[in-house]
Structure 1
Amino acid sequence: MTETSEQDERRRRRAAWRASDRKLWQSPAEHRIGERLTALAADAGRVYDLDEPIDSYGNGVVEALEARTAALLGFPAAAFFPTGTMAQQVALRCWAGRTGNNTVALHPMAHPEVHERGAFGVLSGLRTVHPVREPRLPTADEVRDFDEPFGALMVELPLREPGFLLPSWSELVAVVEAARERDAVVHFDGARLWECAPHFGRPLAEIASLADSVYVSFYKSLGAMSGAALVGPTELIAEARAWRHRYGGQLFQQYPAALSALLGLQRELPRLPSYVSHAKTVAEALTDAFRKRGVPWFRIVPEVPHTHQFHVWLPYQADELEEAAAAQAEQTGVTLFRAWWAAEGSPPGISVTELTVTAPGLEWTADDVRSAAREFLSRLS
């Protein structure tokens, strides 16, 4: 397939998703510029006084967002960043200067190792090591007994690549304590921390308090246009602001992103527990549909979702699954699945997709899910 035909196919799929009457979630790719601007203009006055002066290099509405985020996570200070990649670069660089050790222990499937082109080492002089290689978070013993010293332990909550996985609360506490025994600081990659509270059964501030610093995203769970925050001790955040400037992250005006983030905190954050709960219903209904249709092999990972996102594995080629999903959306107005891919290291002929449940998905009953799954499977050879 040529690059042009691939682009055409992506446009076709996005158009089908956008036109669907029923879907489990709304992809950012489905939005139009005018729609986002109109919605932001209509709703922003609910979270901030629009007669206030426009922000300039991080004051005004950006400061309001920082204060709100710090309060929610129980830290004294927060700094807004244009991207999570930059926020975590800065956080770990600052901690390396304080600990005197530039080695960061993290999972080999964590975001910086998979999606950031080696930025830790190339830009920040950080070295990474891996206490565990299995598709799960490390145990306390693996952290405690790791054979190399490290200055910081970075824990991604949830660990996205293997299926948005979370440890139990006691396991997480033990891992943090093991790092402390080694005189290491703990940093949470909390891009999706917002939806972890139901799994742990604890408020966000209590979860975040286990770490020395936390990064959160505003668009991955909350639907903002962009942006991230780093929360931590006042002195660390002050230094982080200096490095943010050096890295080119002190933007002149950021009010669209900041306002959309405040809206996400007001609107989406309270809804996340319902999304997490309903994801369990969706996963159970899919399992039932696959079994009754006699699918020779499949996996829901985790079997009971830890957040409102999880993985579905099926024994078909990715292009066949994507075509079936696109055709279902076009012909029935129902979008169940979207992009599929062959996971690295998996046997040939097995593909995986990420499934997300947000507000549109709450309208689906278990019978709706089973019906859509049966219709989807009927399109596969």
Structure 2
Amino acid sequence: MTSNARDRRLTALRASERVLSGKRPQTVREQLDRLATLDGLDELPDSYGEFGAIARLEQRVAELLGTEAAVWFPSGTMAQQVALRFGAELTGRDAVALHPMSHLERWERQAYSQLTGLRALWPTAAPRPYTAEELAGLGQPYGTAVVELPLRDAGFLLPSWDELVAVVEAARAAGARVHFDGARLWESAPHFGRPLPELAGLADSVYVSVYKALGSSHGALLAGNAALDGYARSWRHRHGGQLWTNWAAALAALDGLATELPRIPGYVRHAKLVATALAELPGARINPAPPQTESFQLYLPHPAEALSAANLELAETERTWFATGWTDALPGLAMAEIRVGADALEWTAEDVLAAGLRLLELVAKQR
């Protein structure tokens, strides 16, 4: 995408009066104005995370997840490398069991192997979470079993609670550790209907993001026991993640935990309403149906380019933002990830269907 096309898209999204999927981007001034309203402005900034907002954020996340400790990282990619390295050194095994559609494989440039020297074992290549039986059938030793909650690229898919417990037990039986790629753990918890400490307690380590759902500028935390805590701090430094100060990201994350985290179950419930309405569009497919988190995949029988153009026209002419990020999944069939947040709560099922039909009208006009 050229800079002009990107600027046009962002301008249209910011000017939209209604947003179904995603959220409006904020200017630097708007983000600074938000920071100026948060608690903690009169305390000294953190210094290498030793006190201040970062220390409070680490303590709060550990409390929420029920772990002994949580360590701040500037990115989830860095946090996950450290978690998998820890598992390899603790078990003496350089293999990692993970899904080929996982974030580690597709979106982190295989950092776990390129920088840490680990190798992957794939229990399955099917577009769904792997099962306990598939994990047990690997027939090779591995140090860590990685479970992405949810498996985003397969449609934000989650196992059932019993299936998840079975996977954990299979990994334990193989003498391996369990790591949850929980970049969207906050959004996954409602599906399981269990308290966060019970969910996180299944794993030896859990990575959570503080910018996706919680609205911080960046950052992640790696939670686990005291041994992981010390190891993670040492390797964070070696990876270049021992930044001088992170107070702005930490304050925003603390605010997100206090204000946004309680709203997420409502987003998950509303995603089901949105998906049901979208399923009525001609040729539409929803994956999964119903959604298991606040996000899901929408497929429509039109080229991605046409749908993107129609979405932009709808935003610029009627100030209604439907969805962006369309990609061609198959010839004549495009997919977009629908992410339901605060802006979508005002949409009724009738609103969703009407906007979808209007989008398709604009697509038809292009022919």
TM bracket, shorter-chain basis = over 0.9
Q: Which residue of 2 aligns with 1:247?
A: 239
1:127 partner amino acid? R
Q: CA deviation at 1:25?
A: 4.6
Q: Equivalences for 1:104-183 in 2 at 5 Å? A: 104-183=96-175
Alignment check: 8 A CA contact 1:103 1:128 kept: yes
Q: In the TM superposition, what whole-angstrom CA distance separates every residue of 1:257-287 from its partner, at most 9, and x where no partner exists?
A: 1001001101110000000000000000111
How big is the shift at 1:13? 1.3
Q: Deviations over 1:210-242 (max 9, x none)?
A: 000000000111111110000001011111100
SS at match of 2:357: helix
CA distance in 2, matches of 1:363, 1:158: 26
Equivalent in 27, 36, 43 of residue 41 of structure 1: 36
Aligned position for 1:80: 72
Does the aligned pair in 2 maintain the 1:340–1:351 contact within 8 Å? Answer: yes
Name the TM-score, length of structure 2 as normaliser: 0.97
Long gaps (5+) in structure 1: none
Query: Aligned partners of 1:362 and 1:118: how far apart in 2?
Result: 37
State the partner residue of 1:20.
16
Q: Distance in 2 between matches of 1:122 and 1:26?
A: 32
Instruction: Give the distance between the partners of 1:314 and 1:120, measured in 2 at CA.
Output: 35
Structure 2 unaligned segments of length 5 or more: list them: none
Q: Residue 321 of structure 1: which of 283, 290, 307 is its match? A: 307
Cα deviation, residue 34, structure 1: 0.6
Q: Deviations over 1:62-101 (max 9, x none)?
A: 1100000001001010100000000000111011100000
TM-score normalised to the size of structure 1? Answer: 0.93
Distance (Å, rounded) in 2 between the aligned partners of 1:376 and 1:206? 43
Letter in 1 for 2:289: E
Q: Residue in 2 aligned with 1:55?
A: 46
Match of residue 295 from structure 2: 309
1:372 aligns to 2:355 (yes or no): yes
1:337 aligns with 2:337: no
- Alpha carbons 2:79, 2:220 under 8 Å: kept: yes
Identity of aligned residues (%): 52
Hey, what's the Cα distance between the residues in 1 that align with 2:355 and 2:284?
17
Q: How does 1:203-242 map to 2 (within 5 A)?
A: 203-242=195-234
Instruction: Check the 8 A contact 2:284/2:300 in 1, yes or no.
Output: yes
Pairing 1:273–2:255 present = no
Maintained 8 Å contact 2:269/2:294 = yes
8 Å contact 1:215–1:229 — kept in the other structure?
A: yes
Letter in structure 1 aligned against 2:64: L
Asked if the contact 1:66/1:79 (under 8 Å) is kept, the reply is yes
Partner residue in 1 for 2:184 = 192
Contact 2:80-2:207 within 8 A present in 1 as well: yes
Figure out how many residues of one structure are paired with residues of the other and give that number: 363
Q: Please say if residues 25 and 359 of structure 1, whose CA atoms lie closer than 8 Å, have aligned partners that are also in contact.
A: no
